[in-house]
Amino acid sequence: MSEASISIEYAMEKASGPHFSGFRTPTATSVSSTTFSDANVPREPFVIGVSGGTASGKTTVCDMIIQQLHDHRVVLVNQDSFYRGLNSEELKRVHEYNFDHPDAFDTEQLLECIKKLKIGHSVQVPVYDFKLHRRSSDSFRQVNASDVIILEGILVFHDQRVRNLMNMKIFVDADADVRLARRIRRDTVERGRDVNSVLEQYAKFVKPAFDDFVLPSKKYADVIIPRGGDNHVAIDLIVQHIRTKLGQHDLCKIYPNVYVIQSTFQIRGMHTLIRDRDISKHDFVFYSDRLIRLVVEHGLGHLPFTEKQVVTPTATVYTGVDFCKKLCGVSIVRR
């Protein structure tokens, strides 16, 4: 990316110089006849995986990222939605069921869902009930195509195929005692459990599976967030990175004083001409000059002006504007 500041004098001189209007007919060999497609080619969504032990703060961190990216389309997909659910036999012996083992999830269905979202399709995600340990038979959550897809769950880094779909992998860290305390509170308040059953499940399944599957998958993380949702610095940095990855137009959302000149077919046509190695020197100079003029004129529109009244030849008053002759500049950033 190169940056150049233009002086007011230069800008005014360029803007008031000879005016080339219109898009000249290209010379015979300069442009191919391919039809231009829409300038806004849809980008592939940015997929973020968020893993970590139970009650480490994964959901909290995801909610904070989503809140900060409020000006983008962001969707959250929970691995929990892909729990297979228990049949009646398994339900009778629910205390023997290991919900923390990779086999408890329908990973094939999860893969299919993320692949579809990545190519811009909407999907129906199952709704899992933690109290009944089964999926709702008649309701689904519709998840639409988005700019950012966040996949959150204890084992989202376990399967290599799922990992490969991710552009960024975050591991949320919290001390084991903090997580256990949170889990007891959450499961008794929200998931209809009693303290004894939570402790029993934790010792029998949750902790061993954390050591065997969750912790070993931490090595795949690009970023580790200690203290989860309390770590505002880490979350801010992650959001900045995502914004950068989302591209050029989002610069305007980060910096309120950045204006992007909207690309039009005319502009792209001229860019095509000046990049064509067969263009004549005369046409190169002509179209480069015209492109520079567009940028300069756009920049001039952002200079400070004050209101000014003038009297017209018919003796009426016209209220217009006059350039404030202050020392100022407009930076032109080229990507």
In the complex, least distance from residue 119 CB atom to ligand LLZGTKA7, rounded to whole angstroms: 27
Question: What is the DSSP track for 263-287?
Answer: P-HHHHHHHHHHH-TT--HHHHHHH
Cα–Cα distance, 41 to 186 (Å, whole number) = 44
Using CB under 6 A as the criterion, which residues of the chain lie in contact with ligand ADP when the complex forms? 52, 54-60, 182, 186, 228-230
CA pseudo-torsion sign 107, 68, 238, 183: negative
Which CB sits closer to ligand LLZGTKA7, 154 or 296?
154
* Residue 206 interacts with which of ligand ADP, ligand LLZGTKA7, none, CB < 5 to 8 Å by class: ligand LLZGTKA7
* Residue 74 interacts with which of ligand ADP, ligand LLZGTKA7, none, CB < 5 to 8 Å by class: none
- 46 touching ligand LLZGTKA7, by CB under 6 A: no
* Residue 182 interacts with which of ligand LLZGTKA7, ligand ADP, none, CB < 5 to 8 Å by class: ligand ADP
By CB under 6 A, which span of 52-60, 156-164, 168-176, 258-266 interacts with ligand LLZGTKA7? 52-60
- DSSP 8-state class, residue 203: I
Cα–Cα distance, 295 to 98 (Å, whole number) = 62
Burial class of residue 68 in the structure, from the number of CB atoms within 10 Å of its CB (0-12 exposed, 13-18 middle, 19+ buried):
middle
Cα–Cα distance, 291 to 307 (Å, whole number) = 30
Which CB sits closer to ligand ADP, 60 or 288?
60
Pick one of 48, 55, 61, 64: the residue that binds ligand LLZGTKA7 (CB under 6 A): 55
CA atoms within 13 A on the CB side of 300: 17
What string marks each residue from 190 to 219 as x (binds ligand LLZGTKA7 by CB under 6 A) or -?
----------------x-------------
In the complex, least distance from residue 112 CB atom to ligand LLZGTKA7, rounded to whole angstroms: 21
* Residue 283 interacts with which of ligand ADP, ligand LLZGTKA7, none, CB < 5 to 8 Å by class: none
Within the chain, residue ranges assigned H as helices are: 8-16, 58-68, 88-92, 107-118, 160-163, 176-189, 195-201, 207-209, 232-246, 251-254, 265-275, 281-300
What string marks each residue from 76 to 95 as x (binds ligand LLZGTKA7 by CB under 6 A) or -?
----x--x------------
What percentage of the chain's residues is helix, strand, coil (to nearest 5)?
45, 20, 35
The two three-digit tokens of residue 61, written as one number: 């961190």
Number of residues lying near ligand LLZGTKA7 (CB under 6 A) = 11
Cα–Cα distance, 227 to 173 (Å, whole number) = 6
- 283 touching ligand LLZGTKA7, by CB under 6 A: no
Cα–Cα distance, 238 to 235 (Å, whole number) = 5
The two three-digit tokens of residue 15, written as one number: 């803007």
| Residue numbers at the binding site for ligand LLZGTKA7 (CB under 6 A) | 54-55, 58, 80, 83, 99-100, 130, 133, 154, 206
